[in-house]
Amino acid sequence: MEFIDVQAEEIIQHEHPLILEDLQSMYQNYQEDDDDVDDHDLITMQNFECKCDVCGYRIDWYHRYYYRCSQSSSCSYSLHKSCRELSTTLRFPAHPIHTLRLKKSSNSWSCHSCLTEHVDGIFYHCSTCDYEIDLRCATFAEQTLIHHPGHPHPLTSITLDPSLSKCYACGKKHEGVFYHCSTCFYFSIHTDCVTLPFKLSSKHHVHMLTLSYSFTVIPYHSKCRICVTSISERDWLYKCGKCRYYVHLDCVLSRGEPFMSIFSHGIGKSDTKFKAADYPNLLHYPLSDESNNILPYHLRSGDYRHFDQIKSDNMHPSHDHPLLLINVPDTLHDPMRRIKLLCDGCVRPITTMPFYGCNQGCNFSLHEWCTRLPSELENHPGHTLALFNSPSELAYTGFSCSICGLLCNGFGYFCSRPHCMYRVDVHCGFIPERIMHEAHPNHLLSRVKASSIQSTSSTLACHACGITINGGEFCFRCGFCDFYLDNRCALHLPKTIKNRYDKHPLKLSYSPIENHKSEYFCEVCEEELIPENWFYHCQECSQSIHSACAPLILQSEQGFNDSRNDRTGVYKLINMKFGHLVTFDSHPHPMLLVMGTKSDIGLCEVCVGERQSLLIFQCSICKLVFHVSCGPKNPHGQFLDHFGRLLARFFLSRIKPKEKLEHHETAAVTFYPTEVMRPVTGHWKTADEQP
């Protein structure tokens, strides 16, 4: 057999100049907010493939660099970067005793390393031993290397057999082939994650999603929009450059185990898991009525025995003056016209006719249905409750509801057993056993006590506000998903609210708004808004409001939500009506119960403390102001400072501690040689596309 010595320059002799191409340059310079970048060009570039004219093997995107003919429109000549830079001599590990030289032959020959038969071509040859290897075996190390934009160093796959290991990209364990970085010993990535498409179209979102390897701009409180769980600052993810939209890799893609969390977590699949006919009286939340009142529904359903509390002389047990049945629409609660009319029974806006009002002109009103509340609730969980609606100190000091924990100075139901301090407001007295919620369609939410399910989960957090649900609280749980709502967010947030600064109703939103790229802030308190928590939003005007700030518009625009208080979830004084007149023996004038607003910059006359955002008594005649907690003993003998301590304990208990960064273990990787393989980017189907 005749062999001809060749130089590397002779192998790549070509009539046209060659150009070094970087296949990943478009990805390296990619900006998500650049509307001039064509997504189709990015997809085409990642799917690039051609044949090397020297070794005859494939050139792909993961080689990153290759040489092409400068006359590409008429000439398709291409070659690997490694083939362009071949050396004329080689020290081969399988034949260490002699140096191999680059040869060329027009006759057939066989590679002694892989035993492949060749008709002709270029190879490395030992003249002493008559030993030949082809270019693929000679460039084995280069062929196993891949370049990926998600890591700065080349990666190598040298696994002899499929192994079980943790993938750096997705944070999950896989069994199969891994690529490793010899520089960063902790970096090991499964071939499925290596070949993920850089751009992905998903039925979960209106825009194309981009594979992201960097997380410096993702807020720490962001959640996956499919499984509604937290996103690690280390794992790769898909995100949208036009919206605040982030999803886990395994949530947006469907590729079998272990990537199946979409079926076991999150906001539910599209198939309904119950029959509506089996639950004819099921309540659907959020309630569309701005008064957010479930009492009329229960009284109409006939499940409770109720009676008319208005006597023949038009007197009601909760008030000292006769009541009139009013049917004048101009007097209704209307936040757009700054008319604020709250019911003294359920402490909700009066939006329907007729209703009862005091004929003496005092600030007392009742829904018509609040005059027909049942005197007893026998089917309440764990207690037999009696209606409490008599005038007393509770009209201004209030009580803490044993279910929702909110303070209330309206009507309530108290346990009839001696020495039992179980008290609930009228809304929680009718707390449903099961509900449907728009935020979690197709699955029933059942009422449970948090302590009964915390054995399977260390902590429970409300998916609406992110606040931890205490063990003694009732919450609503999905039996199919890891989805929980505390009873405040589940029952007390209406579907729409009105804002006097916006002519459109604002709708309750459960996630960041599509096509909203800017930061969110609340129109009421003018502070930061976290869109991963529920909030109110006007699509036409792009205005947003904390869900806890919404009732401030409906009541008295109090400056309660300052930086010292929680601005998520439900407004903590939603069950308090202000404006009651209270008379003390130590003061000649009636005192008004109000909430200290931002304009109340003075100090308490008793403790010399700030008045802003605290419950205060205020005299409109002599301007005397003091905290409710600093007030004297009321006529019934109960100390008012108990209410102030109760309020302080409540707010301290609801403060959410700052989340700790998740600790990630370093994976130990063992390297083994394997056959040469090249990754291929495939077409990934989303979960909704599965047959």
pTM: 0.71
CATH 3.30.60 fits 493-554, yes or no: yes
Phi, psi at residue 335, to the nearest 5°?
-65, -25
Q: What does R_g of the chain's alpha carbons equal in angstroms?
A: 36
pLDDT band (50, 70, 90) for residue 662 = very low
CA-based angle 319:324:330, to the nearest 5? 115
Q: What residue type is 634 in one-letter code? A: N
Using the predicted structure, report yes or no on whether residue 259 has a pLDDT greater than 90: no
User: How do beta strands 188-190 and 178-180 pair?
Assistant: antiparallel
| pLDDT tens sequence across 223-232 | 788 877 778 7
pLDDT band at 75 (very low <50, low <70, confident <90, very high): very high
* Residue 404, both tokens: 């929702």
Other residues' Cβ atoms within 10 Å of the Cβ of residue 58: 14
pLDDT at 6: 61
130, 3 Cβ separation under 8 angstroms: no
Q: What is the mean pLDDT of the chain?
A: 77
Query: How many helices (H) and strands (E) would you count in the chain?
Result: 13, 44
Phi, psi of 474 (to 5 degrees): -80, 145
Tokens 């970096």 locate to 187
In this predicted structure, the answer to whether residue 528 has a pLDDT above a threshold of 90 is no
Query: Where do we find the tokens 């296949």?
Result: 23
Q: Is the pLDDT of residue 425 over 90?
A: yes
Q: Summarize pLDDT for 666-686 with one digit per residue, the tens.
A: 332 322 233 556 787 766 555
pLDDT digits (tens, 9 = 90+) for 543-554: 899 998 887 776
CA atoms in the 13 A half-sphere facing the CB of 250: 23
What residues does each domain of the chain span?
4-143, 151-266+668-691, 295-429, 434-490, 493-554, 581-654
Structure token pair of residue 632: 């004297």
Residue 437 has pLDDT above 90, yes or no: yes
The sign of the torsion formed by the CA atoms of 468, 472, 473, 475 equals positive
Closest CA to 437 of 491, 389, 397: 491
Do 669 and 165 form a contact (C-beta atoms < 8 A)?
yes
Distance CA 128, CA 125 (A): 9
Dist. CA 331–CA 322, nearest whole Å = 19
> How many C-beta atoms surround the C-beta of residue 556 within 10 A?
17
User: Which stretches of 253-358 are assigned E, i.e. beta strand?
Assistant: 283-285, 323-326, 355-358
- At 70 the pLDDT is 92
pLDDT at 684: 59
For residues 279-296, give the mean pLDDT.
Answer: 80
The pLDDT > 90 percentage for the chain reads: 9
More confident residue, 499 or 410: 410
* Model confidence at 252: pLDDT above 50: yes
Q: pLDDT band for 414, please (50, 70, 90 cuts).
A: very high
CA angle 499/502/504 to nearest 5° reads: 95
Q: Can you tell me the distance from the alpha carbon of 406 to that of 575, in angstroms, rounded to the nearest whole number?
A: 7
Map residue 143 onto helix, strand or coil. Answer: helix
Q: How far is the CA of 99 from the CAs of 86, 125, 129, in angstroms?
A: 15, 9, 11
Q: Are strands 423-425 and 199-200 parallel, antiparallel or unpaired?
A: unpaired
pLDDT exceeds 80 at position 256: no
